[in-house]
Every structure is written in C-alpha cells, then in structure tokens.
Amino acid sequence: MKAIVHVGLKPGVLDPQGKAVADTLGRMGYSEVQGARIGKVIELDLTGIDPAKADTRVKEMCEKLLANTVIESYRYELVE
C-alpha cells in the first residue's frame, strides 16, 4: 500500500518561494501566471499494516512530522 501526502501552506501564509516562481515566470513571458504556491508531495510505501488502520496511522504521521499544522495543511490518499 502507498500513501501519497500533499502538503502546502495555508491560505494567508506568505510563500516567498511561490512569489519568486511567479515573478520569474512573468519575466520569462508567461504573463498569465498571477501567483504560485509551493508545496511538497511525500510518497510513503507502507507494508505490514492493516488497511483499516492505515488511515489513522498516516494521519498521525502527518500531524506529528510531515506537516507543520500551524502554517500548513495536508491531504492524503491511500493507494493499493
């Protein structure tokens, strides 16, 4: 089983990397880009876990390590 976790900054939190990307794309001629937000994708390979418990375990991992829940939000999907 695999867990795919998407982590990104919450709305309203400044994203200097995203601003730099958007500004650079604009200078490169991509004037349609009005903003960008940078996030991360984490793929976890899970073995030896009961599929019924996987959801709870992945949520714990996100809350404890993978996302800073003060400034970041996350979502995940479990794929078999």
Decide if 65 contacts 30 (C-beta within 8 A).
Answer: no
32, two tokens: 């349609």
Say what the pLDDT of residue 80 is.
Answer: 86
- Residue range 29-34: average pLDDT? 98
> Band of the pLDDT at 17, cuts 50, 70, 90?
very high
Q: Is CATH 3.90.180.10 the right assignment for the domain spanning 2-79? A: no
- Residue range 38-61: average pLDDT? 96
Residues 6 and 2: their CA atoms lie apart, in Å, by 13
Residue predicted with more confidence, 58 or 52: 58
Distant-in-sequence, close-in-space partners of 43: CB < 8 Å, separation ≥ 6 = 2, 3, 4, 5
β 2-9/72-79 pair status: antiparallel
